[in-house]
Amino acid sequence: MAEAQFAAETSTRGEWVRQANRFTERITADGSSRWPVEPGRYRLVVSLACPWAHRSVIVRRLLGLEDVLSLGIVDPIRDERGWRFTLDPGEKDPATGIAFLSEAYLTADPEFAGRCTVPAVLDVAEREVVTNDYPQLTLDLSTEWTAHHREGAPQLYPEHLRAEIDEVNAVVYADVNNGVYRCGFATSQQAYEQAFERLFARLDWLSERLADRRYLVGDAISEADVRLFTTLVRFDAVYHGHFKCNRQKLAEMPVLWAYARDLFQTPGFGDTVDFDHIKRHYYATHHQINPTGIVPAGPDLSGWDTPHGREALGGKPFGTGTPPA
């Protein structure tokens, strides 16, 4: 993120203000939008470093949508030109032929002047962004793409639990998912401390909630667990030090640490985590926070595979479904 963009997303009180999603059209099963669900038509573009994009990678894998929704992965290092396809041969996305995600943004809106974000779903043939609305994207993968779910796919957004999932997601987003950014990108002491207090108050609340239940809502993994996991898995590697979220490490919060390890060891979660991309992106891209660009050697990541003991709380990860292949 360039310095000018960073400043544009900070209030006069030094508070981090997240850029609104520009492309919010939905891909629908019933054709009510101009973007119908259609296998092979769309490409999900992500950074493996980004927690918002990571959600969609997990949900895509859990639901078995790999064969109908292709995946493009950008370089974890984002320069002043934005997300780049330098990991691919010829440094271009093999499906669309574009070198920078910004090309798809500008095709969809030639006047777009904001920051190009991931995840983004592109129309492959038109090489344009369909949506970058990350909160709705994963919900739609669960509810609009059902005809293409694998056999045994879990119910991540079951109708009878949606109100509770939405309620949990709202507070987790405000205080945790976005809260770590409000700590890291604050430009005043007051804004930082307010975000810090809200973050750890919510983590304490989550510890209490999860002390006697295996998952956030219901007896199986839901959208709520996916959204919390992608922040927790990055906590010690980047948020604790880089974003100054340092009251405690995740590994020093027993309930949340066990909960996060339980999910990490569940198919579809840990196998989608790339700590190298995560660390290189945050430490080498946010020059206003880490001007030297040095990527720390730690922390020790071996603890993620240690026993968590949360099976004793009951519940089944996939409910009546099965794990992804």
Closest to 67 measured CA to CA, from 148, 152, 158: 148
Residue 86 banded pLDDT, cuts 50, 70, 90: very high
Cβ atoms within 10 Å, residue 305: 11
Q: Tell me whether strands 42-46 and 70-73 are parallel, antiparallel or unpaired.
A: parallel
- Among 92, 118, 148, give the residue marking a domain's end: 148
**Residue 233 structural domain:** 159-271+306-313
Look up the CATH number of the domain holding residue 38.
3.40.30.10
Query: Residue 174 and residue 179: Cα distance in Å, rounded?
Result: 6
**129: amino acid identity, one letter:** V
- Residue pLDDT, tens place only, 28-70: 999 899 999 999 999 999 999 999 999 999 999 999 999 999 9
**What confidence tens digit (pLDDT) does each residue in 191-233 have?**
999 999 999 999 999 999 999 999 999 999 999 999 999 999 9
Alpha carbon 131 to its chain centroid, in Å, reads 15
Query: Is the domain of 24 the same as that of 141?
Result: yes
Residues 123 and 233 placed together within one structural domain of the fold: no
For residues 18 and 132, membership in a common domain is answered with: yes
Same domain, 83 and 184: no
Residue 257 lies in a domain: yes
- Residues 31 and 58 placed together within one structural domain of the fold: yes
Annotated binding-site positions: 83, 115-118
pLDDT band at residue 13 under the 50/70/90 scheme: confident
Peptide bond into 119 cis (omega under 30): yes
pLDDT at 26 over 90: yes
Is residue 50 annotated as part of the catalytic site, yes or no? yes
Tokens of 302: 């071996």
- β-strand partners of 73: 46
- What's residue 6's pLDDT? 36
Both 196 and 140 in a single domain? no
| Residues tagged in the binding site annotation for glutathione | 83, 115-118
261-313 pLDDT, tens digit per residue, is 999 999 999 999 999 999 999 999 999 999 999 999 999 999 999 999 999 99
Whether 5 shows a pLDDT value over 60: the answer reads: no
* Span 106-152, pLDDT tens digits: 999 999 999 999 999 999 999 999 999 999 999 999 999 999 999 99
Is the same domain home to 13 and 120?
yes
Helix H, strand E, coil C: the string for the chain is: CCHHHHHHCECCCCCECCCCCCCECCEECCCCCCEECCCCCEEEEECCCCHHHHHHHHHHHHHCCCCCCEEEECCCCCECCECECCCCHHHCCCCCCCCEHHHHHHHHCCCCCCCCCCCEEEECCCCEEEECCHHHHHHHHHHCCHHHCCCCCCCCCCHHHHHHHHHHHHHHHHHHHCHHHHHHCCCCHHHHHHHHHHHHHHHHHHHHHHCCCCCCCCCCCCHHHHHHHHHHHHHHHHHCCCCCCCCCCHHHCHHHHHHHHHHHCCCCCHHHCCHHHHHHHHHHHCCCCCCCCCCCCCCCCHHHHCCCCHHHHCCCCCCCCCCCC
Contact between 68 and 283 (Cβ < 8 Å)? no
Residue 3 has pLDDT above 50, yes or no: no
In the predicted model, what is the mean pLDDT of the chain? 95
Mean pLDDT of 7-18: 72
At position 281, the amino acid (one-letter code) is H
Domain shared by 123 and 164, yes or no: no
- Cα-Cα-Cα-Cα dihedral of 117, 101, 51, 183, to 10°? -40
Give residue 10's pLDDT band: very low, low, confident or very high (50, 70, 90).
Answer: low
Number of domains present in the structure of the chain = 2
pTM for this structure?
Answer: 0.96
**CA-closest candidate to residue 74, choices 51, 110, 52, 44:** 44
CATH code for position 191 = 1.20.1050.10
Catalytic residue among 105, 134, 181, 283: 181
From the list 42, 50, 157, 245, the catalytic residue is 50
Q: Give the model confidence (pLDDT) of 151-169 as tens digits.
A: 999 999 999 999 999 999 9
pLDDT band at 2 (very low <50, low <70, confident <90, very high): very low
* CA 203/CA 208 separation, integer angstroms: 9
Closest residue by Cα to residue 61 from 219, 226, 215, 177: 226
